[in-house]
Amino acid sequence: MMKERPKTKILVDGGDPAETEKIKSLLGFVDGQTTNPSLIAKNPEIQQRIAAGQKLSTEEQHEEYKKIVRQISPLIGDAGVSIEVFADLGTGSDAMLAEGREMFSWVPNAYIKYPCTHEGLRAAQVSVQEGMRVNITLCFSQEQAAAVYAATVGSKAPVYVSPFIGRLDDRGENGMDLIQNIQRMYKAGDGHVHVLAASIRSTDQLLACLALGVDLMTVPAKVLEAWSATGLSIPDKRFTYKGVDSKGSPLRPIPYKHLDLSKPWESFDLKHDLTTKGIERFVADFERTLQQPKHIA
**Residues at the site binding ligand E4P, with contacts judged by CB under 6 A:** 13, 34, 36, 137, 162, 164, 166-167, 198-199, 201, 218
Backbone angles phi, psi at 179, to 5 degrees: -60, -50
- Asked if 217 and 206 touch (Cβ cutoff 8 Å), the reply is yes
Determine contact, residues 184/165, Cβ cutoff 8 Å: no
Give the angle subtended at the CA of 195 by the CAs of 240 and 280, to the nearest 5°.
100
Beta bridge partners, 46, equal none
Cβ–Cβ under 8 Å, residues 120 and 90: no
Q: Decide whether 34 or 144 has the Cβ nearer to ligand E4P.
A: 34
Instruction: Answer whether 22's CB lies under 8 Å from 221's CB.
Output: yes
- Find the shortest distance in angstroms from Cβ 267 to ligand E4P: 26
Smallest distance from ligand E4P to CB 175, Å: 10
Give the shortest CB-57-to-ligand E4P separation in angstroms. 24
Query: What is the rounded CA–CA span in Å between residue 276 and residue 144?
Result: 13
Q: Is 154 left (phi over 0), alpha (psi -120 to 50) or beta?
A: left
Give min distance, CB of 263 to ligand E4P, in A.
Answer: 26
* Distance from C-alpha of 96 to C-alpha of 113, rounded to nearest angstrom: 10
The amino acid at 147: A
**144/261 with CB nearer ligand E4P:** 144
Closest to ligand E4P by CB, 15 vs 261, is 15
**Nearest residue to ligand E4P on Cβ basis:** 199
- Secondary structure of 209-256 in the HEC alphabet? HHHHCCCEEEECHHHHHHHHHCCCCCCCCCCCCCCECCCCCECECCCC
Question: H or E stretch including 273?
Answer: helix 273-287
The answer to whether 289 touches 46, Cβ cutoff 8 Å, is yes
Active-site residue set: 113
Q: How far is the CB of 272 from ligand E4P (least distance, A)?
A: 14
Backbone angles phi, psi at 250, to 5 degrees: -60, 155
Q: CB of 219: closest distance to ligand E4P in angstroms?
A: 8
